[in-house]
Amino acid sequence: MIKKEKILYSYLSNIIEDENPNTIFVNTTRDISKLVKRIEKLNIQSLQIGPDIEQISNENFDLFIILDDIQTSEPYIGMIKNLISHKIAIFTNFKNNNLINETMLKLGFETELLDKSNGLKCFSYNLKTYNNKRTWNNPKGWANPENFDKFRW
């Protein structure tokens, strides 16, 4: 196993252990049997691996992982976010780096891993932590319709 694979599989097994998902889909064409060996002791009900999401559009996964051998696009990622999973990890290469960074930022992803020496970059998205509830954005106070006639600017 090369150094890049060791780092990748270690990072992925840490994500899986931390998130504790029941169902996982890994979007790749690679042989990831070494990763499967690392995570086989965890409490995972379903692990699906494949290069295409056409067959799974009716299923939901607790964690969706896209490795850097899969070409992604904005509509592809949007479909995954909206229909398939609320926790996503996407690994990219450093080709078109500025465009990828801009696209991922626009879609609400955060940079989780940046290792230029080994060519690893990971973006993540988690709906639960994406848009934290704000104390000021609620019906109490200024946004309360009962106060609309009481206060004028």
Confidence check: pLDDT of 133 > 60: yes
Q: What is the pLDDT of residues 99-115, one digit of tens each?
A: 888 999 999 899 999 98
Separation of alpha carbons 93 and 69, rounded Å: 9
Q: Confidence band (pLDDT; 50, 70, 90) for 72?
A: confident
Q: What domains sit in the chain, N to C, each tagged with a CATH number?
A: 3-126 (3.40.50.150)
Beta bridge partners of 123: 90, 111
Show Cβ contacts of residue 23 under 8 Å, excluding neighbours closer than 6 positions.
44, 45, 46, 47, 48, 59, 60, 61, 62, 63
Look at strands 120-126 and 110-115 and give their pairing: antiparallel
Least confident of 21-25, 54-58, 120-124, 144-148: 144-148
